[in-house]
Structure 1
């Protein structure tokens, strides 16, 4: 019985796979081309094919799922396919990451609608009756390492990001998410949503101050329009994926904060604390 990790060569799945392997757990990278994976156990998986997903999940102890950055229409089809494969194979445990898409704040401009890909995935996996936990980060600190963001921080002392300077966010690292996912995959006592991130949230001004301390130079935060950010990242992710990111930040412009609920946070539910900004910056430079 093994743990199947979606996107295990990427930013979210990679740390999860590494933690499980270090803990001596049988875990495999679920990727489209296993031959391209070096020095890691891997299984072929294609989100666009239910049979491929079913074969990858067969006999699994647990499955970690997060939808890739893609056009929403593609993500929605992947959600349907994944849920069908879960229904066929019934793994003992499933953990889904929302990847920052908000599903636990009804009435907020940030709440994803029921027909969205992430809401559909959670709902349809719930309907299979398997043991399910949902990891709900908000924004990833690793977004700040994107060259279009980090480059100007270093060269100009300006942190440009599509948020207001005073907008509180429960930022977290992929490493924080991996710690929570590992716990939830191996302990099925916890079900439902577990928020991951700083609580209370931290602002753009806080981010700039942390970078200034780390770089030993002045850094200021400049909020930019989501559309401008979309133009910056489109060459990296493609127009379809960038459009989804832009829509997410447009919603944040209408909200007062993007913060997890303390009562369902990993701090409260699991006793796991996220990294501070300074801890994260130090780890990234190690």
Structure 2
């Protein structure tokens, strides 16, 4: 029996893998090529395009952590359907899904992921399997602020440039907070449904800038970016399709009063987990 982690080399999967290994859990990473990670974790090759390969990895697992990769939505829909088919066939004991910031539990309808989106296709399909599962629903990740064009401006110009308006509250969280919630939920079959991860109440862009200023010991101001300008910055990092998805997300955010979680289904309420403040996160990552 083991815990299967998608994206174990990436931003969400790697901190979760580290937490599980520290707790003495047997872990298997899903990757493009079989092998062994430097930390000794076995890597099993399985592609999102193969139900057979995925089912082979999931079979007998105590838990599976899944999140859809950044890609064209048409591809993500294929991946979602294949993951559901593989989970249905393999029947692992527990599944935890991260929405990766896609909104599925907001009171603002304009922020909700479309019914035909890949993330909701994955979640609805998982519900139909009858498997024990939970869905982690973060909002925006603090690690977004470490993207080279964003962090470079903070360091060289003392300006934090990011899309939301200066008075727009967001329940920011880090990948570390997401990993804390995922690790807890993999061993908590009594908790199902959607668990919101993020700071409550939400914080604004100037709040983020002040945290950077306090941490770096010099002034940092906040300057909103348009969604289009932000998407353009991301093209070299995640290609046109990924940048287009991100641009569309921030365009939707601009039509709402906030992107904050509700306390009733929060990790704070359901799991007793308080997310890191921006200052705590900056200290922990050693910026």
Aligned to 2:206: 205
- After superposition, the Cα gap between the structure-2 partners of 1:36 and 1:74, relative to the gap in structure 1 and judged at 3 Å, is farther
Aligned to 1:172: 173
Post-superposition Cα deviations, 1:175-198, rounded to whole Å, max 9, x if no partner, equal 011011001001111000101010
Deviation at 1:281, TM superposition (A): 0.5
Q: Distance in 1 between matches of 2:46 and 2:105?
A: 29
Q: Quick check: 1:24 aligned with 2:24?
A: yes
- Output aligned runs, 1:124-135, within 5 Å: 124-135=125-136
Secondary structure (helix, strand or coil) at the match of 1:85 reads: helix
Secondary structure (helix, strand or coil) at the match of 2:144 reads: helix
Unpaired runs of 5+ residues, structure 1, are: none
Deviation at 1:216, TM superposition (A): 1.2
Deviation at 1:37, TM superposition (A): 3.4
Q: Distance in 1 between matches of 2:164 and 2:108?
A: 20
Q: Quick check: 1:269 aligned with 2:270?
A: yes
Q: Quick check: 1:120 aligned with 2:127?
A: no
Q: Distance in 1 between matches of 2:216 and 2:107?
A: 39
After TM superposition, the score normalised by the length of structure 2 is 0.98
- Output aligned runs, 1:22-171, within 5 Å: 22-35=22-35, 37-38=37-38, 39-105=40-106, 107-171=108-172
Deviation at 1:36, TM superposition (A): 7.0
Unpaired runs of 5+ residues, structure 2, are: none
Give the total of aligned pairs: 286
The answer to whether the 8 Å contact 2:36/2:42 transfers is no
Cα-Cα RMSD: 1.1
The answer to whether the 8 Å contact 2:35/2:42 transfers is no
- After superposition, the Cα gap between the structure-2 partners of 1:106 and 1:112, relative to the gap in structure 1 and judged at 3 Å, is farther
Secondary structure (helix, strand or coil) at the match of 2:223 reads: strand
Secondary structure (helix, strand or coil) at the match of 1:193 reads: strand
